Amino acid sequence: MAGESLRYLALGDSYTIGEGVPHAARWPVQLAAALRQAGVPLADPDTIATTGWTTDELEAAIDAATPAGDYALVTLAIGVNNQYRGRSVDEYATQFDALLRRAIGFAGQRAGRVLVLSIPDWGMTPFAAANGRQNATTSAQIDAFNAAAAQVCARHGVRFVDVTPDSRDHGMAPAMLADDGLHPSGAMYALWTGHALPAALNALA
């Protein structure tokens, strides 16, 4: 099985690395497992992701990791820390475009093998409420970052998977949160996996 497995590269930040949840509960790992259940022999992901990373920090980490060879599937989820640190949407769009081009390259220049997940609305969490950040401004900024990412994805023919509504519908539910009251639990990541799975199946068909 291992010799026949398709390779998967997951790029991102705390949401990709699964801050506060076990390895098996991370959404990229859940996605790989769901694809295997569906008959696609996809390996667990090679992951380049760390809590707190912005777009430029992920870019530098990719340079350092130098992932080699073509991947059957590449996922990218990045940008929340750009927004959190007050950086501009225009800067994000430029840096996200560069990251997406690299992701397509890792997929053997097959844009259809790349999936991008939207930025969840962390403003709808107990952490945000406790820090005075649960407000319309945070949500509006996240919408602007996601709109920029979706436009870049459309230009490159990359699928954009919108998980932001889940964060808004369930962001205050204890079962959907890790212990820090900010990051998603495995249950929330299962919802994200459910959205990503059809796109991944289509990509790998």
**Amino acid type, 137:** T
Longest dimension (CA), the chain: 51
Mean pLDDT within 68-84: 96
| Comparison of pLDDT for 132 and 146, the residue scoring more | 146
pLDDT confidence of residue 132: 85
Q: Work out the mean pLDDT of the chain and round it to a whole number.
A: 96
Structure tokens at 135: 């407000």
Q: Are 73 and 204 in contact (CB under 8 A)?
A: yes
pLDDT digits (tens, 9 = 90+) for 22-37: 999 999 999 999 999 9
Mean pLDDT within 3-7: 81
Mean pLDDT within 103-114: 98
Structure tokens at 78: 């990045």
Percent of the chain surpassing pLDDT 90: 94
Question: Closest Cα to residue 116, out of 92, 88, 141?
Answer: 92
pLDDT value at 5 more than 70: yes
pLDDT confidence of residue 155: 98
pLDDT confidence of residue 169: 96
Question: Closest Cα to residue 184, out of 163, 159, 162, 160?
Answer: 163
Residue ranges and CATH numbers for the domains of the chain are 2-204 (3.40.50.1110)
pLDDT confidence of residue 136: 87
Model pTM score: 0.95
pLDDT confidence of residue 1: 37
> How would residue 2 be classed by pLDDT, with cut points 50, 70 and 90?
very low
Which residues lie across from 9 on neighbouring strands?
Answer: 46, 74
pLDDT digits (tens, 9 = 90+) for 164-189: 999 999 999 999 999 999 999 999 99
pLDDT confidence of residue 41: 97
pLDDT digits (tens, 9 = 90+) for 110-138: 999 999 999 999 999 999 999 888 788 99
pLDDT digits (tens, 9 = 90+) for 42-72: 999 999 999 999 999 999 999 999 999 899 9
Residue 105 dihedral angles phi and psi, to the nearest 5°: -60, -40
